[in-house]
């Protein structure tokens, strides 16, 4: 493993990889154009003991075989402690140049080497806690393109572990992570408030709105509000097949209220997934102003970071 080394060759082919906990996504970029894309459920939690190098080759090796030389650049949980190698976090505030400086090049039997972008770490000076991200920093690098650097913006990235990221001067300044998606998945799978776990979430339903309303109650807190999901069903206010929508509204409502108290500047919500759409609906129902950004920014961010790396002067030269 080698940091602060030349990353990209003059090759015109780039294999850009977003390798997360539960999914693997890759794009083949030739002369600046995306010519192929694939998605797989082979996230790092689903490897089942398979070797990272061999798995990467099984997924995208045919691209390299067809194109010859290709640079492989990755971000996400592949650089975590549980990943291929643990890449040290860049410390916030962190911008594109900081992420480029933290890239680590890893030897590969099949690709010669692969490059992994670091995540970002923020140590909260107020309470001594630490928050981290891996993968979202690359999305942010793509999203910040075109936004005014001198102004504060808050980027909301809904998902399994939702991020609220305050950016200023083109850098990730501070952020908070909310376990919203994972909590929903666990609670609606096998718990007292599972209801009909097969039912789809309907953010336009009365049950979802009821969850948002309950989240506004300052008496009792989230754990009490979650139990109320049970009594809402028992009293017939919410049907069993709508309970998951209520729980979604509760969790998202709490996330939005906490996130909004942390946010600064214009609020942007990124994504087109069902959870992103549900979060956008909840924000509007709660009266928050936001701008939606539907761009798939990972590839743009990855390329911006790689280009910054290529343009820097290696002090070890």
CA nearest neighbour of 264 among 133, 154, 106, 101? 154
Yes or no: say if 54 and 60 are a contact pair by the CB < 8 Å rule.
no
Q: Could you tell me the mean pLDDT of each successive run of 10 residues in the chain, 317 residues long?
A: 47 88 94 93 94 97 90 96 97 96 96 96 96 96 83 93 95 97 92 80 95 92 95 94 95 97 94 92 94 87 86 40
d(CA 182, CA 264): 26
Q: From residue 97, give the alpha-carbon distance in Å to each of 135, 154, 171, 187.
A: 16, 20, 9, 40
Domains of the chain: 2-121+297-311 (3.30.420.300)
Tell me the three state secondary structure of residue 218.
coil
How much is the pLDDT for 311? 53
Yes or no: say if 224 and 183 are a contact pair by the CB < 8 Å rule.
no
How much is the pLDDT for 149? 75
Tell me the two tokens of residue 138. Answer: 């690359």
Estimate the share of the chain in helix, then strand, then coil, as percent rounded to the nearest 5: 35, 25, 40
Helix or strand (DSSP H, E) at 244:
helix 243-262
* Residue 301 neighbours by CB under 8 Å, 6+ apart: 137, 138, 139, 140, 141, 142, 143
How much is the pLDDT for 102? 96
């Amino acid at each position: 493993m080698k940091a602060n080394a030349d990353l990209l060759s003059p090759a015109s082919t780039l294999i850009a990889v977003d390798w997360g906990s539960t999914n693997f996504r890759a794009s083949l970029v030739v002369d600046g154009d995306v010519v192929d894309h694939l998605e797989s459920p082979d996230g790092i939690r689903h490897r089942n003991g398979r070797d990272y190098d061999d798995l990467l080759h099984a997924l995208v090796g045919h691209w390299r075989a067809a194109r010859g030389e290709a640079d492989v650049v990755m971000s996400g949980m592949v650089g975590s402690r549980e990943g291929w190698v643990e890449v040290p976090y860049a410390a916030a505030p962190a911008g594109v140049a900081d992420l480029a400086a933290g890239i680590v090049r890893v030897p590969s039997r099949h690709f010669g080497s692969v490059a992994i972008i670091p995540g970002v770490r923020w140590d909260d000076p107020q309470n001594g806690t630490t928050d981290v991200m891996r993968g979202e920093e690359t999305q942010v690098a793509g999203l910040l393109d075109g936004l005014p650097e001198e102004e504060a913006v808050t980027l909301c990235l809904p998902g399994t572990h939702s991020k609220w990221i305050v950016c200023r001067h083109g850098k990730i300044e501070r952020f908070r992570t909310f376990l919203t998606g994972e909590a929903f998945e666990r609670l609606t799978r096998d718990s007292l408030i599972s209801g009909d776990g097969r039912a789809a979430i309907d953010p336009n339903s009365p049950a979802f709105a009821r969850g948002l309303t309950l989240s506004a109650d300052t008496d009792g807190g989230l754990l009490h509000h979650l139990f109320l999901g049970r009594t809402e069903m028992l009293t017939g206010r919410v049907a069993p097949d709508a309970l998951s929508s209520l729980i979604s509204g509760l969790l998202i409502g709490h996330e939005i209220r906490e996130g909004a108290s942390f946010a600064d500047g214009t609020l942007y919500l990124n994504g087109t997934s069902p959870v992103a759409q549900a979060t956008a609906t909840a924000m509007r129902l709660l009266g928050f102003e936001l701008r939606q950004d539907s761009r798939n920014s990972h590839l743009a961010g990855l390329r911006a970071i790689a280009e910054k790396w290529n343009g820097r002067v290696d002090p070890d030269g």
